[in-house]
Chain A
């Protein structure tokens, strides 16, 4: 197992994850746009937000790959299938807690169930499993994260 394998896998995995989400949007399966959601935490300018969001998304992708690597190292096993399982858990966590609960808390422009009349949200909150962005969003998001995990797991195993 190699940390460089994890980083390479994180980069490639994030590339695929982002592409799948974008394709899901173009195919009208979902309104999710993770780079946009992340970037608008920094700026209201949509174009700049997307650019900053892509950068942030890749940084997070690399950080999550390092977390995967740490767990692989701790249990002494890795591989694409184990990565896929991690990706599944990661996708479920992202939809149920990370983007649904934590992002609205730290995002200055996103609404949350607690947003009341004295605040104005510029972005609708994602809701449980991000279903507010389309009923098929959980499927697209979980699939994208499983692919991410598979790639990270595969790259880590390649380096061993």
Chain B
């Protein structure tokens, strides 16, 4: 039985990440990287996915928290006989010979005595490759193909290996400790860590996260939520390249039992402006530079065209496939890869140009090659903006003239002109960009305004609504008058929102079923309210949204308004980016 998505917490090391349930079960882990095949995937297949689980005799209650200002999770499990504290982290390598990846799980008996049994079922390659398993006293090894996983226990009983499973028992009295380390390797020999070294790495990992959090520069409202969002985002930064994944999971459903299940372990160009803006605003200058460098480098081959999404290591996107897994609570298909990579989405050009603009505004220089490429992208936007596309929400119905796509094309050309004015990019085609920008504005104002709704519509000639047009406010669209933007905020709130729950759009999207409220849109609404002179409403809505986080401050992509169940991939980077942006705008509105 899978846990509710809300019941999970994320740990990671900047290369991969794991999801830990409230009862201490680790149900999601891909190795060696965030977008590699899974070795634990019980979230999307309870029987065949693989996991590391805990069972405690006389278990009564569980509570948990992150060690303050870290990405290290502390779960406290109470039994009739005692209290066990479990500390989980994916450790960061130090100076000694470190495993390729290491999941450290420290057991501490806080009071009384505890009797814990652990079971580990490794299921390499999404369960497609059966593992070979051996054990020797306190060490066990499982492998399949080029992937290996070792378990080293200190302070517990001997490990027992059976068909496809490793098991062990840890019995502690008050004040005693034990350590369970799971290490992974990919195409190299496994490193079997000495328990003392794992302890040291765990302590150093806690120290690193604390130092990282202390270096952040946010001083506004909701500091705990902003810090947790920053820490969650840091776990989505794929450190080897600087790319930022949208989420660490695949196929957590947007509708329970439905087919809206997607792989989010990619970097979306759409999110780039939010990412760079958030990184800069919380004092992550180094990460911002690495991300910008990666985005510009990754998009080099297809220039001036952009792909909707890129793999974290910069390679071509893999083909979308369906896996024969049971799915989260029966939600199938389980997909890996993402077919949205091949869509035309015009809004990404606006996102990228806004990213460049933020980067230059932060005082970072563009080299000649990059400046030329940015100008080429502006030329490209000037020629393609009138085409129908799949839009920001990647609908799988026929391409349309989506309003938000046109707004973002306007923003792309407007930022290009601003970059020319700043001397950051060559401007020999600036007159064309200005002419086309104005033409886009005229198109939007003529065809994308719904007099019936007193709002910008979802698409040209339609009366449907779309919360993504709020980005016109967030990114300073200036092709119309401000009253229309303010009126659109009111219409979105009236027609798409119910309390803090905001639907993405009304109308068809080419998919069967329904979806939950989209949390990013809720935070965009806060942002838009704060920017349009309604700071009190913005703050009230923000408070309601902050209360919707799970017990450790994380958000998924969507939420069911009926019972606040999380839906979609988890945790969702865009939601946390939007939270940071909304908090920033509220802080600015207070000043």
Contact = CB atoms under 8 A, between A and B. Distances in A.
Nearest to A123: B293
B559 interface: no
Interface stretch (A65-73, A81-89, A132-140): A132-140
Contacts of B290: 120-122
A74 to B, nearest CB: 33
Nearest to A49: B367
A72 to B, nearest CB: 34
A122 B367 CA distance: 15
B367 A116 contact: no
A19 interface: no
Contact of B367 (A31, A46, A112, A132): A46
A116 B315 contact: no
Interface in B60-83: 71
A75 interface: no
A119 interface: yes
A116 B239 contact: yes
A131 to B, nearest CB: 6
Interface string B1-38: 00000000000111100000000000000001100000
B56 to A, nearest CB: 31
Interface in A101-124: 111-124
Contacts of A117: 12-15, 71, 92, 208, 212, 234-235, 237, 239
Contacts of B14: 115-119
B297 interface: yes
A122 B295 CA distance: 11
B242 A122 contact: yes
Nearest to B311: A132
B314 A132 contact: yes
A91 interface: no
Which of A28, A111, A134 counts the most B-chain CB atoms under 10 A from its CB? A111
Please classify how large the interface on chain B is, using the bins under 10, 10 to 19, 20 to 34, 35 or more.
35 or more
A47 interface: yes
Interface stretch (B299-307, B416-424, B425-433): B299-307
A28 B301 contact: yes
Contacts of B315: 127, 131-132, 135
A115 B294 CA distance: 15
A112 B368 CA distance: 27
Contacts, number: 99
B303 A133 contact: no
B254 interface: no
Please classify how large the interface on chain A is, using the bins under 10, 10 to 19, 20 to 34, 35 or more.
20 to 34
Nearest to B16: A116
B242 A121 contact: yes
B399 interface: no
A28 B298 CA distance: 12
Contacts of B316: 134-135
Interface in B155-177: none
B224 to A, nearest CB: 20
A141 interface: no
Interface in B274-306: 286-287, 289-290, 293-294, 297-298, 300-303
A31 B240 contact: no
Given A116-B92, A127-B315, A135-B315, A122 B289 contact: yes
A125 B313 contact: yes
B93 interface: yes
A43 interface: no
Nearest to A30: B301
Nearest to A111: B240
Contacts of B186: 113
A113 B240 contact: yes
B278 to A, nearest CB: 16
Given A113-B15, A134-B301, A120 B239 contact: yes
A132 B313 contact: yes
B225 interface: no
A123 to B, nearest CB: 7
B135 interface: no
B366 to A, nearest CB: 9
Interface string B365-386: 0011110000000000000000
A26 to B, nearest CB: 10
A73 to B, nearest CB: 36
B241 A111 contact: yes
B235 A120 contact: no
A28 B303 contact: yes
A123 B293 CA distance: 7
A31 B314 contact: yes
A121 B13 CA distance: 14
Contacts of A120: 239, 242, 286-287, 290
A115 B301 contact: no
Interface in A15-45: 25, 28-31
B360 to A, nearest CB: 15
Contacts of B234: 117
Given A46-B367, A120-B287, A125 B240 contact: yes
Given A30-B301, A46-B367, A124 B208 contact: no
Contacts of A125: 240-241, 313
Contacts of A115: 14-15, 239-240
B150 to A, nearest CB: 17
A119 B242 CA distance: 10
B239 A111 contact: yes
Given A31-B301, A47-B367, A116 B242 contact: no
B257 to A, nearest CB: 36
A47 to B, nearest CB: 6
25 contacts: A28-B300, A28-B303, A31-B297, A47-B367, A113-B32, A113-B240, A114-B93, A115-B240, A116-B15, A117-B71, A117-B92, A117-B212, A117-B235, A117-B239, A119-B14, A120-B239, A120-B286, A121-B239, A121-B242, A122-B289, A122-B293, A124-B298, A132-B241, A134-B301, A135-B316
Given A117-B12, A117-B235, A120-B242, 16 more contacts: A31-B298, A31-B314, A46-B367, A113-B240, A114-B100, A117-B92, A118-B14, A120-B286, A120-B290, A121-B240, A121-B241, A122-B290, A124-B240, A124-B243, A125-B240, A132-B315
Interface of A: 25, 28-31, 46-47, 111-125, 127, 131-135
A-B pairs, 7 with minimum CB distance: A117-B14, A111-B240, A124-B241, A46-B367, A132-B314, A116-B14, A115-B240
